[in-house]
Amino acid sequence: MTATIESRETLTFRPVALPCSGNGASRLYTTNLFRGRCPHACAYCYAVGFRNFSGGGVSAVSQEAIAGVKKWPRRLFLSSASDPFHPVVVKRAEELLRGALRAGTFVVISTKALATPGIVKSLSQYPDQVSYTVSLSSLSEERNRLLEPNAPNARERLRGKWDGDAVVLCGTEQIAQSGVHITLKADSLFPDMDDTEDGISQLLEEAKAWGVQAVNFSYAFYRNGFKSKLAAFPLLRQSLVAMNESQPIASGTGFSLPLSEKANRLSRMARIARAIGYEVISTCACKNQVGTMQAEIPIRLECHFHEKWF
């Protein structure tokens, strides 16, 4: 999808306001390389409720602003409300990563887009300073085409984009070859559609085949006023029936799968992941009421990818 880009001259680093963000010198900061509605146009995107990301054309930070950074945070998350590798800003991300990694910053990357070969080159020089997560909840082409219409398909996210025998843009296969550890971020999972035993098994097996070493499961949620938008998709109606419990999350409340059932299903998916060979398995504590979920479930209640887990 082609997006109109306007440049802005500021690059700001803000503390992440989530339980996983840490404190003091270990605090996690974030920056977004563009404002405006993300061109991926994912149906379930919570960021459209944020003032700077709810609509309008893309306003991207300039290359000059990135080159002019004098002090980088110790830990940096890309990004809290946008995809740092979307084609409209991926060259800016390439510039940012060169500067941040050289400065010794530990960089957390979360994307469903593809990296440039230049980005992979930078990551390969500083693999111990990178936590890389690829967002992918299903291998279903129909599901992803409807809910994530402008994002790369599942095969591209894992294998990259090829032109004949040449890699044009990079997925998990090329990232893993650079020495970087990769987490599959299965978020947002819709119950009774994405979390079936066959669906999860196939997703985890395919991801592991292309270099993924850890997995983070998180169920979808929606806020008041957003349900009607999701209900417009027939394939989500059964999921929405199951998502009937109002739950506190880090930034307010949302409706999701009841917590007791969520714990059971997370345990089942964790067992599947363990059988396939995954050792690091987690779920986002900010979406799952820290301290209230059953302690005995075989899964970490933390966004481990915000730390150097390896």
How far, in Å, CA of 280 to CA of 107, rounded?
Answer: 19
* pLDDT higher than 50, residue 213: yes
* pLDDT higher than 60, residue 185: yes
Range in 52-66, 139-153, 190-204, 270-284 the model is least confident about: 52-66
Half-sphere exposure of 234 (CA within 13 A, CB side): 1
DSSP 44: T
> Which two structure tokens, joined as six digits, stand for 238?
């059964």
> Which two structure tokens, joined as six digits, stand for 295?
């302690």
How far, in Å, CA of 306 to CA of 295, rounded?
Answer: 21
* pLDDT higher than 50, residue 77: yes
pLDDT confidence tier of residue 3, bands split at 50, 70 and 90: very low
Q: Quote the CATH superfamily of domain 5-306.
A: Aldolase class I (3.20.20.70)
Instruction: State residue 36's pLDDT score.
Output: 85
Share of the chain above pLDDT 70, in %: 89
Helix axes 117-125, 90-102, angle to 10 degrees: 10
Burial class for 280, CB neighbours closer than 10 Å (0-12, 13-18, 19+): middle
Residue recorded with tokens 């550890």: 181
Q: What is the pLDDT of residues 27-50, one digit of tens each?
A: 999 999 988 888 899 999 886 777
Instruction: State residue 310's pLDDT score.
Output: 40
CA-based nearest residue to 76, from 134, 129, 18, 135:
129
* pLDDT higher than 50, residue 2: no
The whole-angstrom distance between residue 11's C-alpha and the CA centroid of its chain comes to 21
Q: What is the pLDDT of residues 221-274, one digit of tens each?
A: 998 888 999 999 999 999 999 999 998 877 778 899 998 899 899 999 999 999
Instruction: State residue 293's pLDDT score.
Output: 62
Choice between 35 and 53, residue whose per-residue pLDDT is larger: 35
Q: What is the pLDDT of residues 187-200, one digit of tens each?
A: 999 999 999 999 99
How far, in Å, CA of 290 to CA of 248, rounded?
Answer: 10
Choice between 3 and 155, residue whose per-residue pLDDT is larger: 155
Residue type, 285: A
Q: What does the domain layout of the chain look like in residue ranges?
A: 5-306
Q: From residue 227, give the alpha-carbon distance in Å to each of 46, 54, 169, 214.
A: 12, 17, 35, 31
